[in-house]
């Protein structure tokens, strides 16, 4: 079978397609999964270009969705033919994170899912939502769960609250959809009027073109009668965080997910204090949260927004397309 591996240093030329042996039969507690799809996140891109250092020869991609083809002894959650989706932190099953359970990340600290088949412990996967394509299911592992945790777990979001989603990438569009599912109001920012129109068609109550309004925090305050929003989906990082702080209400919540604009920068810490804001760093979530998210997707027939799908052989092109930043929602990989 084929897999993609990362070799050498620097840039997307690190991606190489390689033949590899089929995995053996699943042992006790394991399942054999035929992977059919993955999706791309900024984290995968940083791994792919070597900005996040990994083992030489690593198989990238944290997201993986497919079909169970074999079941080891003692596995009760799955049977052959089940459609499944991978977990970002497969050893973080439930509750709070401790170091040992967040040390394992497929596509980062261990081999990921840019491959056709894999044998892994059954608890590294959950069932996929009903009526989801494999590509749709693959979007949940990282982007879907990050948005769910930000709003539903950490929030916790209540109907009637206002959510500010920065941009129209995968996490932000999931956040828009979850927020509307739960009766919240949503403000979306983008530099593209076309994308903002798309966001409105998904239910966004207000949109702001930040090219036309570089001081978009002021627009947010105006849209909320000076009160500020209850939750910010902060995927930008240092360049956007100062305005995100000003855009949130006293006691507001900033889900800090992003490093799109850098890994550090000048932050107006006094504004955090006067806003009594909660800046909550988060990385995806645990398996129990993924199960609960999928229950909500099933109950509400919500489908993710997929911008474009590339075959695995064009993974490099897919990353280039992601890096260009023109997408709306998720970029998927067909395996």
CB of 37 to a second copy, least distance (A): 23
CB of 186 to a second copy, least distance (A): 10
- 8 A C-beta contact, residue 334 and residue 36: yes
Q: Which is nearer to a second copy, 192 or 288 (CB)?
A: 288
Q: Which is nearer to a second copy, 161 or 307 (CB)?
A: 161
CB of 271 to a second copy, least distance (A): 8
CB of 98 to a second copy, least distance (A): 7
Q: 192-195, long-range: CB within 8 Å, 24+ apart, which pairs?
A: 192/168, 195/168, 195/328
Q: Which is nearer to a second copy, 212 or 300 (CB)?
A: 300
Residue 327 tokens read as 């997408």
Q: How many CA atoms lie within 13 A of 160 on its CB side?
A: 0
Angle, helices 170-181/287-300, rounded to nearest 10 degrees: 60
Dist CA 256 CA 162 (whole Å): 17
Q: Which is nearer to a second copy, 39 or 244 (CB)?
A: 244
Q: Which is nearer to a second copy, 189 or 240 (CB)?
A: 240
Q: Round to the nearest angstrom and report the end-to-end CA distance of the chain.
A: 11
Q: Which is nearer to a second copy, 298 or 314 (CB)?
A: 298
Contacts with a second copy, residue ranges (CB under 8 A): 76, 93-100, 102, 152, 156, 158-161, 178, 181-185, 205, 226-227, 237-238, 241, 250-251, 256-259, 262-283, 286, 288, 292-300
Q: What are phi and psi of 184, to 5 degrees?
A: -95, 165
Q: Which is nearer to a second copy, 36 or 275 (CB)?
A: 275
Strand partners, 39: 332
Dist CA 113 CA 227 (whole Å): 44
Q: Which is nearer to a second copy, 125 or 310 (CB)?
A: 125
| Residue 51: Cβ within 10 Å count | 11
- 8 A C-beta contact, residue 143 and residue 41: yes
Residues 6+ apart with CB under 8 A from 90: 104, 106, 120, 121, 123, 124, 125, 287
As a dihedral over the C-alpha atoms of residue 230, residue 233, residue 238, residue 242, rounded to 10 degrees, the angle is -20
């Amino acid at each position: 079978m084929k897999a993609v591996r990362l070799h050498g240093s620097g840039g997307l030329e690190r991606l190489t397609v390689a033949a590899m042996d089929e995995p053996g039969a699943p042992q006790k507690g394991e399942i054999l999964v035929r992977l059919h799809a993955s999706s791309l996140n900024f984290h995968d891109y940083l791994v792919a270009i070597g900005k996040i250092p990994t083992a030489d020869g690593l198989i990238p991609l944290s997201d993986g969705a497919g079909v169970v083809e074999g079941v080891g002894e003692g596995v009760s959650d799955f049977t052959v033919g089940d459609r499944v989706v991978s977990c970002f932190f497969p050893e973080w099953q439930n509750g709070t994170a401790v170091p040992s359970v967040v040390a394992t990340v497929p596509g980062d600290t261990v081999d990921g899912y840019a491959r056709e088949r894999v044998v892994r412990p059954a608890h590294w996967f959950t069932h996929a939502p009903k009526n989801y394509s494999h590509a749709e299911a693959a979007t949940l592992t990282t982007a879907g769960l990050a948005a769910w945790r930000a709003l539903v777990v950490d929030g916790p979001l209540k109907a009637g609250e206002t959510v500010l989603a920065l941009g129209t990438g995968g996490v932000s569009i999931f956040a828009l959809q979850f927020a509307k599912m739960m009766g919240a109001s949503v403000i979306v920012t983008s530099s593209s009027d076309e994308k903002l129109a798309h966001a409105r068609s998904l239910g966004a109550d207000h949109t702001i073109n930040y090219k036309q309004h570089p001081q978009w925090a002021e627009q947010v305050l105006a849209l909320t009668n000076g009160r500020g929003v209850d939750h910010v989906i902060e995927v930008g990082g240092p360049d956007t965080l100062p305005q995100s702080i000003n855009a949130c209400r006293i006691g507001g919540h900033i889900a800090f997910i992003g490093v799109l604009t850098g890994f550090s920068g000048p932050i107006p810490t006094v504004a955090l204090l006067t806003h009594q804001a909660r800046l909550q760093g988060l990385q995806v979530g645990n398996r129990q949260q993924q199960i609960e998210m999928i229950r909500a997707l099933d109950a509400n027939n919500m489908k993710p927004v997929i911008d474009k799908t590339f075959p695995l052989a064009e993974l490099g092109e897919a990353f280039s397309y992601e890096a260009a930043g023109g997408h709306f929602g998720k970029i998927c990989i067909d395996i």
